[in-house]
Amino acid sequence: MTDDLEAVYPTREDVWNARSARTAFPIPLVEGARTAASFFSAAFYGRNDVVYLDEVGVPHIMLVDIKAEQLAAMAAIYPGVTETHAEDAFAVAERMRRENRGFDVVITDPWAEGAWPVVTQHFATFAALTRRCWVTGVMADDFAEAGVPVTLEGVQSWLDAQGHSEFVAAWLKLRNSANGAYWLGLCRRRSRRDRMLARLLRPAKLLGRTRAKEVSR
């Protein structure tokens, strides 16, 4: 018999049952993603964000946090976790940017004091990693101090004024009334070329489905 206590980690069910902000996390923005990167992700074993990525079936998830033990546990909890980095999130993000890495969805959920630097000092870095949508934790007090109304329209005006009009403020919901924390979802504007391609491809997809039905008959 040993005096060492074996570490006990939560199961996926435990994390799901304890998930936070059940109606605030922007599920519609992450659905259909093939790749996702979650920065500052080890707190509470992903109950704030990673569990939702797992729930919608994102097959390739990268986790970044300085807490190596929690990241290892999360890699066992979530089958979609294919890459972990137990390093400073800002340093990893900068390195990924230099390597031209990109993810369909990027999630940043720093501590309260780090929320504003993420969307100001480090905006360009996380934006460069985002192919489709970026979901980040923000604080109402930070926006108030900057004179930004905590509304989608207010955030959009702020983005445009900062030169970030390539993003649309698509989601803003309160996640913690005690400290004024919100989930903010920013999505890249689709170019005119992308919209035209989507229209051109839509009939082809429908035709493919029709043919599949005919074959199945």
Concatenating the DSSP letter of every residue in 76-105 gives HH-TTEEEEE-S-HHHHHHHHHHTT--EEE
CATH number assigned to the domain with residue range 12-191, chosen from the 4 options 3.40.50.150, 3.10.105.10, 3.40.50.970, 3.90.78.10: 3.40.50.150
pLDDT of residue 214: 37
Q: What is the mean pLDDT of each run of 10 residues along the chain (217 residues)?
A: 58 95 96 98 94 98 97 97 98 98 98 97 98 98 97 98 97 96 96 49 44 37
The H or E element that residue 13 is part of is: helix 12-17
pLDDT of residue 3: 44
pLDDT of residue 200: 56
The string over 89-101, giving b where at least 16 C-beta atoms fall within 10 Å of a residue's C-beta and e elsewhere, is bbebbeebbeeee
Query: CA-CA distance, 203 to 159, in Å (whole number)?
Result: 35
Which residue(s) pair with 172 in the sheet? Answer: 184
pLDDT of residue 191: 60
pTM confidence score: 0.85
